[in-house]
Amino acid sequence: MLETFLITLEALGVLAFALSGIMEAARKQFDLVGVVMIGAVTAFGGGTLRDVLLDRRPFFWVEQEFWVWALILVGLTLPFFFRATHIALTEKAILIPDAVGLGIFAAGGTHLALVAGMSPMIAVLMGVITAVVGGVLRDVLVNEVPRAFHDHQPYAAIAFAGGWVLVLLGYLNTPEYLDVAIAAILMVAMRLIAVRLKIQLFRWRFL
Amino acid sequence: MLETFLITLEALGVLAFALSGIMEAARKQFDLVGVVMIGAVTAFGGGTLRDVLLDRRPFFWVEQEFWVWALILVGLTLPFFFRATHIALTEKAILIPDAVGLGIFAAGGTHLALVAGMSPMIAVLMGVITAVVGGVLRDVLVNEVPRAFHDHQPYAAIAFAGGWVLVLLGYLNTPEYLDVAIAAILMVAMRLIAVRLKIQLFRWRFL
Amino acid sequence: MLETFLITLEALGVLAFALSGIMEAARKQFDLVGVVMIGAVTAFGGGTLRDVLLDRRPFFWVEQEFWVWALILVGLTLPFFFRATHIALTEKAILIPDAVGLGIFAAGGTHLALVAGMSPMIAVLMGVITAVVGGVLRDVLVNEVPRAFHDHQPYAAIAFAGGWVLVLLGYLNTPEYLDVAIAAILMVAMRLIAVRLKIQLFRWRFL
């Protein structure tokens, strides 16, 4: 059951990040194929790097091939839907799927690393990597400074803090899937609140 | 014999992509060493990522060390040749080696993944990754939006379609090396025709 | 003892590259978290890719977790120190830690690859990768053309030459740690001299 829960969660995260990649690429007037590929890189990039670092095989997208098909379908049709319904692809609209992906991937990545026997600190870092790398690749590929490093709003910081929450929850007697769910929801909420309240991280300013 | 054929093919693909990388870096006025390194990344990037994802070792360039030497030699001398013969390093000139590399790497990558027991869809994706990643790294390193995503002409789409052709040819009773050769030639032809006829993929346009 | 020496050396290299990443990110007005992350990618990027390519586990930063903590601490405090002391974060100031990291990582990477049974050429390439990749990722992430390819001063070339020096020293009867130390110091010196004397690599110029 935990297995099923984790796969469902990862699928949700994949979908959320795919959405953010597809929206970003459509916004930048990429072509049909470019939109699908940016979506795929955003969705699978973080988890794949995590699995390479943890030496885990097979990858999520190899084992759960259905999601590759789903992603291609969504990437090919979604922009039509946006256009038909005149939904504006503003930068702000992208923040919501991005926040959902952040929470799910950070919680899932940390959990997987803990299961693989990593120390808490390394597990938390793996969560950060899982959550951040997809979006970073997306931004690098559309030739922008990655938002996660430069938008001055907490992103990786939330993945980091949320990872430690998951580690601490692990010392309680709660079922594992509940720990992961709580940490994920907490991070999504923190991100949305941070964006809403325009909380800014301290930024360096030199002459 | 299949082994020899595949190594020859990969060597040809390496050479073609190395050419495209060297030409691009020379065009951008990189220095001697930069030209060689961009050539190497373009040539070996896709295959190496494919091998990391498939957990295959040793890498092509570790096993066939000769090609590293060849690449360094070509990278150091080729730009002299271009300059001496006044061959213009236009963006158009790069399209030919790029097309050859595309066909060879997509066919070779798909074939290797099928041999490694991947499902058709995953094998086709591995072919796309092998064909696309070298050029994407080249474009990211010279700080441009990757052409494969953004030039609005079919590139990854051809690697995808050609990979499925190879999968289908696998159901016939033809020898394997012939399947790979046919798929590769088909993709090179498709790419050159697409470029020639200026076939454009549908591009998203929002307000 | 050789073990201890190598770990100390890698730690020094990590620190040097972390410094260069932190300085670059602070200069670009990244936020607190962005500074730490760019520092971490610069410091651990090259070694991690080397270990993935050599299929070595665990990674340096997984085994020597202390350095992750150190890096976070340094990344959070160092910019305050720069600001308080009015040390200018010029591009020139970054060149010194960058040179130290270059020498240490190239020597260490080549040594590790030789120990892993790679041929001299591949080992030298692994040294180049270890030394160059961290800085390249740093530059890509702040959306610049990587300096290692484009500043027209020898960088990768020094890692390459220094790697061969280490290979040749291996044929003498000197202790291994001495070979690595000599090669590393030699490379740092070469880099600093090259920068000081403004030695330029040949650059391509086409119409």
CA atoms of C145 and C4, how far apart (whole Å) = 36
| pLDDT the model gives residue A201 | 83
Output C45 or A207, whichever has higher pLDDT: C45
**Of residues B92 and A204, which shows the higher confidence score?**
B92
- C-beta atoms of B29 and C204 within 8 A: yes
What's chain B's average pLDDT? 90
Task: Give the model confidence (pLDDT) of C70-119 as tens digits.
Answer: 999 999 988 888 878 877 777 778 888 999 999 999 999 999 999 999 99
Mean pLDDT of A17-32: 89
- pLDDT value for B207: 47
Q: Are A50 and A113 in contact (CB under 8 A)?
A: yes
Q: Is the pLDDT of residue B82 over 90?
A: no
Predicted pLDDT of residue A206: 60
Which among C160, C143, C138 has a CA at the least distance from the CA of C45? C138
Distance from CA of A116 to the nearest CA of B (A): 18
The single-letter DSSP state of residue C140 is H
Q: What is the pLDDT of residue A14?
A: 93
Distance from CA of A100 to the nearest CA of B (A): 25
Length of chain A: 207
3-state secondary structure chain B: CHHHHHHHHHHHHHHHHHHHHHHHHHHCCCEHHHHHHHHHHHHHHHHHHHHHHHCCCCCHHHHCCHHHHHHHHHHHHHHHHHHHCCCCCCHHHHHHHHHHHHHHHHHHHHHHHHHCCCCHHHHHHHHHHHHHHHHHHHHHHCCCCCHHHHCCCCCHHHHHHHHHHHHHHCCCCCCHHHHHHHHHHHHHHHHHHHHHCCCCCCECCCC
- Residue B206 is predicted with a pLDDT of 60
Chain A neighbours, 3+ Cβ pairs < 8 A = B, C
Look-up of token digits 């957990």: B55
Q: How far apart are CA B204 and CA C15, in angstroms?
A: 45
Check residue C206 and give its pLDDT: 60
Selecting from A37, A57, A142 the residue whose C-beta is nearest the C-beta of B145 gives: A142
Interior CA angle at A60 toward A55 and A62, to 5°?
95
Structural contact between residues C205 and B35, judged by C-beta atoms closer than 8 angstroms: no
Asked which of A112-116, A149-153, C119-123 is least confident by mean pLDDT, the reply is A149-153
Q: Per-residue b/e over B60-91, b at no fewer than 16 CB within 10 Å?
A: bbbeebebbebbbebbbebbeebeeeeeebee
pLDDT exceeds 70 at position C162: yes
Under a CB-based contact definition with an 8 Å cutoff, are residues C132 and C124 in contact? no
DSSP C85-120: TT----HHHHHHHHHHHHHHHHHHHHHHHHHTT--H
- pLDDT tier for residue A207 given thresholds of 50, 70 and 90: very low
Kindly report the CA angle at B170 between B168 and B174, in degrees rounded to 5?
120
Residue among A144, A160, A204 whose CB faces C29 most closely: A204
Q: Is the pLDDT of residue A10 over 70?
A: yes
Task: Report the half-sphere exposure of C194 (CA within 13 A, side-chain side).
Answer: 20
* Cβ A167 vs Cβ A110: under 8 Å: yes
Interchain proximity A34–B148, CB inside 8 Å: yes
Three-state DSSP class for C147? Answer: helix
Beta carbons of B82 and C149 less than 8 Å apart: no
Q: Where are the domains of chain B?
A: 2-196
Please state, in angstroms and rounded to a whole number, the distance separating the CA atoms of residues A107 and A161. Answer: 10
Token pair of C1, please?
């003892």
Q: Which amino acid would we find at residue C4?
A: T
Q: How confident is the model at residue B84 (pLDDT cuts 50, 70, 90)?
A: confident
Closest CA to B130 of B106, B111, B112: B106
Kindly report the backbone phi and psi dihedral angles of residue B203, in degrees, each rounded to the nearest multiple of 5, phi listed first: -120, 140
Instruction: Tell me the pTM.
Output: 0.92
Contact B149 A89 (CB under 8 A): no
Q: How many residues does chain B have?
A: 207
Task: Return the C-alpha torsion angle C77, C78, C81, C87, nearest 10.
Answer: -160
pLDDT bin (cut points 50, 70, 90) of residue C207 is very low
Phi and psi of A185, rounded to 5°? -60, -40
How is residue A140 written in tokens?
A: 């690098």
CA distance A63 to chain C (A): 22
Q: What is the pLDDT of residues B8-36, one digit of tens each?
A: 988 899 999 999 999 888 888 888 888 99
Question: Taking the CB of residue A6, how many other CB atoms lie within 10 A of it?
Answer: 18
- C-beta neighbour count of C45 within 10 angstroms: 21
Question: Which residues in chain A have Cβ-Cβ distances shorter than 8 Å to C31?
Answer: 149-150, 152, 200-204
Share of chain C above pLDDT 90, in %: 62
Q: Which chain A residue has the Cα nearest residue B135?
A: A141
Q: What is d(CA A15, CA A101) in angstroms, rounded to the nearest whole number? A: 8
Q: Is the pLDDT at B42 greater than 50, yes or no? A: yes
Subunit contact B29:C125, Cβ cutoff 8 A: no
Contact B133, B80 (CB under 8 A): no
Confidence of residue B80 (pLDDT cuts 50, 70, 90): confident
| Nearest-angstrom CA–CA distance, A146 and B20 | 27
The two most distant CA atoms of chain C are separated, in Å, by 56
Kindly tell me the burial class for residue C85, based on how many C-beta atoms sit within 10 Å of its own C-beta (0-12, 13-18, 19 or more): exposed
- Residue A86, classified by CB atoms within 10 Å of its CB into exposed (0-12), middle (13-18) or buried (19+), is exposed
Range with lowest mean pLDDT among A47-51, A88-92, B187-191, C72-76: A88-92
Identity of the residue in B150, B204, B207 whose CB atom sits nearest the CB atom of A26: B204
**Mean pLDDT, residues A187-192:** 96
Instruction: Report the percentage of chain B scoring pLDDT > 70.
Output: 98
Does the distance separating the beta carbons of A31 and B150 come in below 8 Å?
A: yes
Q: Is the pLDDT of residue B148 over 80?
A: yes
B42 min Cα distance to partner chain C (Å): 14
CB-CB under 8 Å, B140 with A79: no
Task: For an interface test with B, give the residue of C49, C136, C139, C204 to mutate (most B CBs within 10 A).
Answer: C204
> What is the rounded average pLDDT of the residues A21-42?
90
Q: Is the pLDDT of residue B130 over 50?
A: yes
When the pLDDT of each residue in chain A is averaged and rounded to a whole number, the result is: 90
What band does B73 get if pLDDT is binned at 50, 70 and 90? very high
Interface test with C, best of B62, B63, B80 (most C CBs within 10 A): B62
Q: Which tokens is A192 given? A: 């949305």
pLDDT at B99: 93
In order of B156, C42, C44, C52, C64, the CA distances from C11 in angstroms are: 41, 13, 10, 19, 9
In 3D space, the residue among A130, A114, A137 whose CA is nearest the CA of residue A42 turns out to be: A137
Please give the Cα distance from C30 to C154 (Å, whole number): 28
Closest CA–CA distance from residue C70 to any residue of chain B (Å): 30
- Tens of pLDDT, residues B150-173: 778 899 999 999 999 999 999 998
- Alpha carbons A121 and A114: distance in angstroms, whole number: 10
- Out of A144, A149, A204, closest to residue C37 by CB: A149
| Residues of chain C contacting B26 with CB distance shorter than 8 Å | 204, 206
Shortest alpha-carbon distance between residue B81 and chain C (Å): 12
In chain B, which residues have their Cβ closer than 8 Å to the Cβ of A45? none
